[in-house]
Structure 1
Amino acid sequence: MANYIVKRIILAFFTTAAISVLSFVVIQLPKGDYVDWYVEDLMQKGDHISLAQAQNIREYYGLDKPMLLQYGMWMWRMSSLDFGYGFEGQKPVEEQIAEKLPTTIALVAFTTVITWLFAIPVGIYTAMRQHTVEDYTMTFLGFIGLAVPDFLLGLLMMYIFFKYFDFSVGGLFSSQYEYAPWSWDKFVDLCQHMIIPAVVLGTAGTAGLIRTMRNNLLDELAKPYVLTARSKGLRGWRVIVKYPVRVALNPFISGIGGVLPSLVSGSVIVSFVLSLPTLGPLLLNSIQRQDMYLAGTIILMLGALTVLGFLISDLMLVLVDPRIKFEGKE
């Protein structure tokens, strides 16, 4: 086990390094740089700066240097946990990320929990009720969940909750708790505001996971070891939960690593619609401005967390599925 973890950590290091190079290069692929965007933005607002001022800004941020040298300087500062300053607002990158990260993590946690709590039982139930009205109904609802865009579902839920329940969905808190000190009531209000975006973001994923759980469980139930267990006297839910469900959970566990980046990228529009301070809009805006330090740091952080997530999911798979060994032998 120790050798396996060491190998994965070494692989994770090189993977993260490759992500840092790719993210830094891709952000700078579009024509121009942040200064060009800044000058154009000023012109749209009816203001302007001279070419000399623009060049001074470019030299101040080091944008006049070759890309390889810029990357080396960025990595050198990163080695001492100095993430630099974002171009817009001149705030440290770590401060800008710290403002959005708690909300993002909370939203990811809420979405994952709601998705799993609904998808796993429903997937098991539809597998046990194959070709029944319940199975067809859940399949139909699942396809609707996959087809409805997240932003449209968000707008619809905002309207329903505001119209019929007199509950404001946008933002993290109701107006009376936004600047109030932390209390139990404020925490409950936060949870209430998190449920709606979690449901919106998790709808499509839930529909897909229900189908995955159903199909995997049906495949396992048809295998000889299940028939053998039943012939030895195991009946009902005992024979299902003991082995088939554990094996059918593999896609859920193996997908842990991709949860954070997929939700961050998928939450951009939903965050705009629901006024949520998450990393998604911050990443989008920084990429549009070609803010390589802010955007590159966010992408690198998401990549590192993804690599860590896949390592954790692989370790969990070994614990859940007895067929999987640390050295990859079954």
Structure 2
Amino acid sequence: MARFVLRRLLMLIPFLFLISVVSFAVIQLPPGDFVDTYVRNLEVQGGTVNQGQRAAIEAQYGLDRPVYIQYGIWVKHIAQGDFGNSFLYDRPVGDILKERVPRTVGIALAAMLLTWVIAVPIGIYSALRQYSVWDHLFTFISFVGLAVPGFLLALVLMYVVYEKTGWLVTGMFSPEYRAAPWSVAKFVDMLKNLWLPLLVLAVTSAAGVIRVLRASLLDEVKKQYVTTARSKGMPEWKLVMRYPVRIAINPLISTIGWMLPALVGGEVVVSKVLNIPTTGPVLLEAILSQDMYLTGALVMILSALTVIGTLASDVLLAVVDPRIRYE
């Protein structure tokens, strides 16, 4: 197991290199660059930029050099821990990432945990009580959860909470705590504001997890070893939890690889609607303004989360399922 984990960690290096090449190539595909966006916005506001000023701006950001040189400079700086300067925010990209990435990953992990807390018991119950009233109800709710966009659910819940309580759930902190130093009161205030985005992300993700677990468990409980164990008098609940559930949960563990970055990337619109300062809105604004350094750094982080999540899935599968062995 240790050799497998070490081998996968070493594989991160070429993977991240390829990801950096693809990321830089993709953000170069749209016509124009940040200077074009900057000049266009300036002209909309009534300003003008002559060719000399444009050339000076391009030289300032290094956009007058060939693409491969721009990429080389970018990768060299990343290896030194410098992600470059954001054109849009006129700040080091590293500072923006330090502010946004930890809270985004924290929200994603909390949403994933809440997703499992909601989905696993429902999926197990629905499979064991197939075609019952509750099974049909949970199936209907699951399909609704799959069909309703997260941002729409966020808007509806925000409206309901405001109508019933007069409390507008928006932002990560209440106005009086935004500039205040960390304290117990500020932490409690954060929890008061974060429950809604966590609930929205968990509910929209739980719908698919319920369907996967129900289908896997239904297939597992019909196998011969379950019938044999039941015929020997093993208690039903102990039988189900000890064998079929451990195997049926494997597909859920294997989805961690894409579920974690999906939650981080999927909160873009939800964060916009609820005014949560995470990486989602920053990534959207960076793409629209063609801020290539900020966009590239965020895309690389999402890709790294996919690789790390896949590694975590493989390790957890080996722990949960004794049939899986890594040499």
Is the pair's TM-score, using the shorter chain for normalization, greater than 0.5? yes
In the aligned structure 2, how far is the partner of 1:156 from the partner of 1:281? 20
> After the TM superposition, which of the residue ranges 2-11 and 124-133 deviates more from structure 2?
2-11
* Unaligned stretches of 5+ residues in structure 2: none
For 1:108, the equivalent position in structure 2 comes to 108
1:17 is the counterpart of 2:17:
yes
1:118 is the counterpart of 2:118:
yes
CA shift, 1:240, in A, is 0.6
Deviations 1:181-200 (A, max 9, x none): 32323212211211111111
CA shift, 1:102, in A, is 2.8
Residue 176 of structure 1 aligns to a residue in which SS?
A: helix
CA shift, 1:106, in A, is 2.5
> After the TM superposition, which of the residue ranges 109-118 and 132-141 deviates more from structure 2?
109-118
In the aligned structure 1, how far is the partner of 2:187 from the partner of 2:107? 14
Superposition TM-score, scaled by structure 2 size: 0.96
1:223 is the counterpart of 2:214:
no
CA shift, 1:298, in A, is 1.1
Residue 91 of structure 2 aligns to a residue in which SS?
A: coil
> After the TM superposition, which of the residue ranges 172-181 and 250-259 deviates more from structure 2?
172-181
For 1:172, the equivalent position in structure 2 comes to 172
> After the TM superposition, which of the residue ranges 28-37 and 97-106 deviates more from structure 2?
97-106
Deviations 1:115-140 (A, max 9, x none): 11000000001011101100001101
> After the TM superposition, which of the residue ranges 223-232 and 1-10 deviates more from structure 2?
1-10
In the aligned structure 1, how far is the partner of 2:95 from the partner of 2:10? 29
In the aligned structure 2, how far is the partner of 1:81 from the partner of 1:183? 31
Superposition TM-score, scaled by structure 1 size: 0.95
Letter paired with 1:246: R
For 1:59, the equivalent position in structure 2 comes to 59
Q: For the Cα contact (< 8 Å) 1:77–1:84, is it kept in 2?
A: yes
For 1:319, the equivalent position in structure 2 comes to 319
Letter paired with 1:223: K
In the aligned structure 2, how far is the partner of 1:292 from the partner of 1:175? 32
Q: For the Cα contact (< 8 Å) 2:257–2:310, is it kept in 1?
A: yes
Deviations 1:43-69 (A, max 9, x none): 111112111111111112111111111
In the aligned structure 1, how far is the partner of 2:169 from the partner of 2:152? 14
1:78 is the counterpart of 2:82:
no
In the aligned structure 2, how far is the partner of 1:185 from the partner of 1:236? 46
CA RMSD of aligned residues (A): 1.4
Deviations 1:248-275 (A, max 9, x none): 1112211222233212321111111100
In the aligned structure 2, how far is the partner of 1:6 from the partner of 1:115? 30
1:250 is the counterpart of 2:237:
no
Letter paired with 1:141: I
For 1:130, the equivalent position in structure 2 comes to 130
In the aligned structure 2, how far is the partner of 1:131 from the partner of 1:110? 32
Residue 180 of structure 1 aligns to a residue in which SS?
A: coil
In the aligned structure 1, how far is the partner of 2:257 from the partner of 2:122? 23
Q: For the Cα contact (< 8 Å) 1:33–1:290, is it kept in 2?
A: yes
In the aligned structure 2, how far is the partner of 1:14 from the partner of 1:246? 34
Q: For the Cα contact (< 8 Å) 1:108–1:259, is it kept in 2?
A: no
1:304 is the counterpart of 2:304:
yes
For 1:203, the equivalent position in structure 2 comes to 203
Deviations 1:71-102 (A, max 9, x none): 11111111111111111232000111122123
In the aligned structure 1, how far is the partner of 2:2 from the partner of 2:284? 39
In the aligned structure 2, how far is the partner of 1:135 from the partner of 1:89? 50
Q: For the Cα contact (< 8 Å) 1:267–1:280, is it kept in 2?
A: yes
Letter paired with 1:134: W
Letter paired with 2:119: A
CA shift, 1:9, in A, is 2.3
In the aligned structure 2, how far is the partner of 1:35 from the partner of 1:188? 43
In the aligned structure 2, how far is the partner of 1:15 from the partner of 1:269? 28
> After the TM superposition, which of the residue ranges 153-162 and 256-265 deviates more from structure 2?
256-265
1:29 is the counterpart of 2:29:
yes
In the aligned structure 2, how far is the partner of 1:178 from the partner of 1:307? 34
Q: For the Cα contact (< 8 Å) 2:105–2:264, is it kept in 1?
A: no
Q: Identity across aligned pairs (percent)?
A: 46
Q: For the Cα contact (< 8 Å) 2:154–2:200, is it kept in 1?
A: yes
Q: For the Cα contact (< 8 Å) 1:84–1:293, is it kept in 2?
A: yes
1:234 is the counterpart of 2:256:
no
In the aligned structure 2, how far is the partner of 1:299 from the partner of 1:278? 14
Residue 177 of structure 2 aligns to a residue in which SS?
A: coil
Letter paired with 1:175: P
In the aligned structure 2, how far is the partner of 1:39 from the partner of 1:177? 37
CA shift, 1:5, in A, is 2.2
Q: For the Cα contact (< 8 Å) 1:146–1:203, is it kept in 2?
A: no
